[in-house]
Amino acid sequence: MTELTAREIAGYIDHTLLAPNASREQIVQICDEAKKYEFKSVCVNPLWVSTVARELEGTDVLTCSVIGFPLGASATDTKVFETNHAVADGANEIDMVIDIAAALRGDRDALVNEIFAIAQAAHEGGAILKVIIETCLLTEEAKVLACEAAKAAGADFVKTSTGFSTGGATVEDVALMRRTVGPELGVKASGGVRSVETARAMIAAGATRLGSSSGVAILEGEQSGSSY
């Protein structure tokens, strides 16, 4: 396989700003960066979805919103409401956090039911669903269970991490997730992807999307100091 160039990697990146103190000016800035570098999407908290959708109108860059973020400990109905609201505001993609406790106790039915409800809401609005399983908090068995539940429930992607817990993406977790979901679903590596070398390693392991606030640094061949 030919090594991907930095510019080719741009199409994998969800350019991300999820800090609770993000300003409108910063949100507009990352939209401008996404347009300049041709990132895949801009990923923000629900508050900023309508702003991002307006800023990206007429471009190929998608609008992505997080749901149940970052703990995943909201009721399913609440996550569905958030999803419907984000889609109505212009989100093309939804990144939801699972019920992490359900994964740890092995409750597959609870995971499938929750993910199915949110997938249905996203798909009815024309959006895709990425399922954040928060790998740093799960056993290997729970990671597999969560990925299998996401696939059974009709999700489009599984995603490693929020970037707000005890750890981010690892090559090993990306490879495990890819083996578990097969070629049908996307795999998104997020949290700690801050250099072109790390980006290439995640893609080689099976990632088809990268969540990062360091997209510009990655494309410029720099090492970012960002925490996400």
Strand-pairing partners, residue 159, are 132, 188
Active site residues: 95, 159, 188
- Read out DSSP for 166-208? S----HHHHHHHHHHHTTSSEEEEESS--SHHHHHHHHHHT-S
